[in-house]
Amino acid sequence: MKTLSVINFVVAALFVACCCYQAVYCVVRLLKKRHTPAAKRLCRYGVLICARNESAVIGQLLESLRAQSYPSRLVDIFVCADNCTDNTAQIAQEKGAHVYQRQNKLQVGKGYALRFLLEKIGEDFGISRYDGFFVFDADNLLDPRYIEEMNKVFSNGAKAVTSYRNTKNFGDNWITAGYGLWFLRESEYMNRPRATLGVSCAVSGTGFLFDPCLLKSGGWDYFLLTEDLEFTADLIARGEKIAYCGAAILYDEQPRRFKQSIIQRSRWIKGYLQVVAKRGPGLVRTLISTGSFACYDTLMTTLPACVLTICSFAVNTGMFILGMLGAREEMGLFFQSVLSALLNSYLLMFVMGLLPLLTEWKRIYCPTAKKLRYAFTYPIFVFTFGLAMVLAVCGNIQWQPIQHTVAVSIGDIGPRRRK
């Protein structure tokens, strides 16, 4: 069992060695003020929304798009009603969007829907008509200045920009709050310091903008379970840089049920592994040839957490079985080692969740008592990624739609949501 303590120490040391640079990100975030440049010009944008049976929420997103401070004449909205069996397409048309309906049960997933939508835009309008394309999910809501703020960064030369991701149902329970802190940390303690230091940021599912010149001749070419991370990895391997706009605020809905959350996160982890397998070699080649820190950063935020966690779980499980079979007198040492590792991990995760909770306090629309309570449950949310990892490695994980039901308008976000 002493061997187990040594192994757990080595795993923890490796994890710290791989990710300790993120402590520098935290310092940069806390010390450096946000700076947004003035817009150099007004660009023309196309908005891409892929929706599957999203009649409950898509109307509110389209209303928040129509309420933007940015000139509406420069924004065209396109919706792919993807394998829908409800009236999503009808609602989108009534709200003024250009709607294309897609029925394809073989090529399932957001990546395929995005390619279809871009192809249709190319046929009917021409891709070159637009300086950039936004990508949103149907459950999103946008701050009224969202496009205006993103345009400031994009018009200053950025070819891809990601935004500040907030949560419209943060206070529902410990699961939605866990997601909320996770994405706030990703926005403000990963992407913002990256942008400050001149390192490429990472796209996170929704709420990003890209120049069509980044697409290869075949169009949208990202079809893995995490097409956003695949897009990020490919751009960084090609030497492109993704910028960050913290002043552009997007709200999205998070799963409330534990089962749904685990299924979604197991898909993320499976997608991480797929991206490492497909895009990892390109990242490594660029890292070796150019010394790109962005490549190292991308690899470290996907590979070590998965691999080291799986190794630690396997070793601890194996040692537990061996101990129960033949070395029961040493089980006390086993549990001591495991509890020590769990306590240290809990404290680390608590601090990681507490930082964005404190610095983004005014932007988190949730009663104070709940905010404080969810600071303590955040590490538990992170620990449940372990179950998602097991399912991702051992199960048959495929893309599945997430049902969205939080039908609120952008006017409901803010003081009313604090109650």
Instruction: Give which of 304, 305, 299 is closest to 283, Cα–Cα.
Output: 299
- What would the DSSP string read from start to end of 305-351? HHHHHHHHHHHHHHHHHHHHHH-GGGHHHHHHHHHHHHHHHHHHHHH
For the beta sheet containing 45-51, the strands, ordered from the edge strand earlier in sequence to the opposite edge, are 98-102, 75-82, 45-51, 132-137, 208-210, 160-167, 242-252, 141-142
Does residue 20 have a pLDDT over 60? yes
The pLDDT score that the predictor gives to residue 417 is: 47
Does residue 347 have a pLDDT over 80? yes
CATH number listed for the domain at residues 40-257 = 3.90.550.10
| Span 52-79, average pLDDT | 96
Q: Which two tokens stand for residue 237?
A: 């391997």
As a whole number, the mean pLDDT across the chain is 89
pLDDT digits (tens, 9 = 90+) for 217-256: 778 999 999 999 999 999 999 999 999 999 999 999 999 9
pLDDT band at 418 (very low <50, low <70, confident <90, very high): very low
Residue 252 is inside which H or E element, if any?
A: strand 242-252
Q: How far is CA 19 from CA 8, 124, 129, 265, in A?
A: 17, 46, 42, 21
pLDDT digits (tens, 9 = 90+) for 169-184: 999 999 999 999 999 9
CA–CA separation, 319 vs 331, rounded Å? Answer: 9
Does residue 14 have a pLDDT over 60? yes
List 64's β-bridge partners, or say none. Answer: none
Lowest mean pLDDT among 29-38, 154-163, 218-227, 398-407: 398-407
List 49's β-bridge partners, or say none. Answer: 79, 136
pTM for the structure as a whole: 0.90
Q: Where are the alpha helices (DSSP H) in 102-208?
A: 110-124, 146-154, 174-186, 192-197
Q: Tell me the torsion sign for CA atoms 176, 181, 185, 188.
A: positive
| Span 283-288, average pLDDT | 96
User: Higher pLDDT residue, 416 or 280?
Assistant: 280
Q: Would you kindly state where each structural domain of the chain is located, as residue ranges? A: 40-257
Lowest mean pLDDT among 150-159, 323-332, 338-347, 383-392: 323-332
The pLDDT score that the predictor gives to residue 386 is: 82
